[in-house]
A and B are shown apart, each in its own frame.
Chain A
Amino acid sequence: GAVVSQHPSWVICKSGTSVKIECRSLDFQATTMFWYRQFPKQSLMLMATSNEGSKATYEQGVEKDKFLINHASLTLSTLTVTSAHPEDSSFYICSARASLGTSGTSYEQYFGPGTRLTVT
């Protein structure tokens, strides 16, 4: 199946600093990428949907100025957590959606391995 990578796999940073997480689709072009966050014992929560070349669409309650998303190419999206605080510590997972078939409809979503962020 399709492969999605994330970098870094884990990061520890100090409160007030910014952290950038990269998500890459390795063997397909992803017109849409999704960013999720998962706190312990909770479900994955969609933070934002990112379409290549356009602004991301953020879910209700997610601060767009705090979680900056850039989707500059069909294989790369980045999430920057600005001025991170301990409550931002979480498991961040990206997902990329490929276009399938001649109809161009997109259904398959492939998940990256996740990035574990710890803010001290």
Chain B
Amino acid sequence: RKEVEQDPGPFNVPEGATVAFNCTYSNSASQSFFWYRQDCRKEPKLLMSVYSSGNEDGRFTAQLNRASQYISLLIRDSKLSDSATYLCVVRPFQKLVFGTGTRLLVSP
């Protein structure tokens, strides 16, 4: 079983739509959680950290459920520029563990 599992997608949505991605992780010792964004042939870039209380950054909302070992990312009012691969990342110790990513395609 992979340490971090994500639906690879792609998720095809029209501009303005709301889309949600989910992720599960296997290591209950994980202490930190993140969503990264990766554009084609580029390095991953931190989108937001994820906290147990849930957190929001503009159109992006992240949630963490430690009991279920489940993380989510909600994107509201999708923009064309949101098209990318979204990586769920956990840190059980001092190392980051990446999911394979969920690809999002936002169309006009």
Residue numbers of A with Cβ under 8 A of B are 32, 34, 41-46, 49, 91, 93, 95, 107, 109, 111-114, 116
| CB atoms of A91 and B41 under 8 A apart | yes
| CB atoms of A111 and B43 under 8 A apart | yes
- In angstroms, Cα B98 to Cα A42, docked, is 10
For A109, give the chain B residue with the smallest CB separation.
B96
In the complex, chain A residues whose CB is within 8 Å of the CB of B44: 44, 93, 111
For A6, give the chain B residue with the smallest CB separation.
B43
| CB atoms of B100 and A42 under 8 A apart | yes
Residue numbers of B with Cβ under 8 A of A are 4, 8, 32, 41-45, 87, 94-101
Since A43-B87, A43-B98, A43-B100 are in contact, a sample of 4 more A-B pairs with Cβ atoms closer than 8 Å, ordered by chain A residue number, is A34-B95, A43-B99, A112-B43, A116-B41
In the complex, chain A residues whose CB is within 8 Å of the CB of B87: 43-44
For A93, give the chain B residue with the smallest CB separation.
B43
- In angstroms, Cα B45 to Cα A45, docked, is 16
- In angstroms, Cα B96 to Cα A45, docked, is 9
CB distance from A111 to the nearest CB of B (A): 4
CB distance from B12 to the nearest CB of A (A): 17
15 A-B contact pairs sorted by A residue (CB < 8 Å): A34-B95, A34-B96, A43-B87, A43-B98, A43-B100, A43-B101, A44-B44, A44-B98, A45-B98, A46-B95, A46-B96, A91-B41, A107-B32, A114-B42, A114-B43
In the complex, chain A residues whose CB is within 8 Å of the CB of B101: 43
In the complex, chain A residues whose CB is within 8 Å of the CB of B99: 43
| CB atoms of B100 and A111 under 8 A apart | no
| CB atoms of A49 and B95 under 8 A apart | yes
CB distance from A69 to the nearest CB of B (A): 15
For B4, give the chain A residue with the smallest CB separation.
A43
